[in-house]
Amino acid sequence: MATETAAVATEDVKPKKSVGCIITAIVRVLLGLAFVAFVLMGLLMKQEPPPDMSEAAKTYMGGLMAAKFIMPIVTGVMALVGLMLLANRFVPLALALITPILVGIVGTHLFVMPQNWQPGVVMLVMVLYLAFAYRNAFKPMLAMKVTPGKG
pTM over 0.75: yes
At residue 32, the pLDDT reads: 98
Report d(CA 88, CA 21) in Å as an integer: 13
Question: Tens digits of per-residue pLDDT, 51-90?
Answer: 788 888 888 888 888 888 998 999 999 999 999 999 999 9
User: What is the CB neighbour count within 10 angstroms for residue 122?
Assistant: 14
At residue 1, the pLDDT reads: 53
At residue 106, the pLDDT reads: 94
Report d(CA 25, CA 122) in Å as an integer: 16
Domain ranges of the chain: 25-43+53-135
* 3-state class (DSSP) for residue 100: helix
Kindly give the parts of the chain with pLDDT less than 50. Answer: none
Single-letter amino acid code for the residue at 122 = V
Report d(CA 59, CA 62) in Å as an integer: 5
At residue 16, the pLDDT reads: 80
Q: For the chain, how far is it from start to end, CA to CA, in angstroms?
A: 50
Contact 70, 64 (CB under 8 A): yes
